[in-house]
Structure 1
């Protein structure tokens, strides 16, 4: 297999795994809800007031708590595990085909050099 074919296959696989194993998870629930309005465009004019009366700048607000993060990561790991073990299952193949069109509209993936450099530190 030549390098272009290898990259094309990896790009398709990355997109569909992101769609099925990351996007269509509890992340959708965390993403739902009202998005605050910003007049500056950078949310520096948006604040959250908590139950103790603290006025927290939007950039400093945690969007979800540790329990939600744990549940999200468990969901993603479970889906990645299922994807790898059951990729040849006809039902999963049908799901992959159903979502591939939407996933292929996403930007072309690029190498994340931060992942590679972290292993060398």
Structure 2
């Protein structure tokens, strides 16, 4: 696939990206992890928030918000959803609330990998 797209092709990719994320991430196990109460911070940077456990206090800024087991369940769910989406894109590529999200842009960290891999490709 070429890295140059027409405006219409780019718009199609933007819609596809939003629909994929909305269908495969937004409505996944992530919603269960997102449910519940989130702390407030008087300072605004959460350095004043802590979690009290039987084994001591954990500063919020050092707290893992997702356990290894929760992350495993999330990744399995998302991979299965992405696989299903890729198998049935016509049926699933419809935007709901994602139509109002910001326009997608190329992620800088991922683009560094793309550029590195493009420059290391053997020439034919």
For 2:108, the equivalent position in structure 1 comes to 113
For 1:69, the equivalent position in structure 2 comes to 71
Tell me the CA shift for residue 2 of structure 1.
Answer: 5.2
For 1:9, the equivalent position in structure 2 comes to 12
For 2:84, the equivalent position in structure 1 comes to 82
Q: Deviations over 1:73-103 (max 9, x none)?
A: 0000000000011223xxx44xx43xx1311
In 2, Cα distance between equivalents of 1:117 and 1:7: 20
- TM-score (normalised: structure 1): 0.85
Q: Which runs of 5 or more residues in structure 2 are unaligned?
A: 118-124
Q: Deviations over 1:99-120 (max 9, x none)?
A: x131110111110121121352
- TM-score (normalised: structure 2): 0.83
| Structure 1 residues 34 and 5, CA gap change in structure 2 (3 angstroms) | same
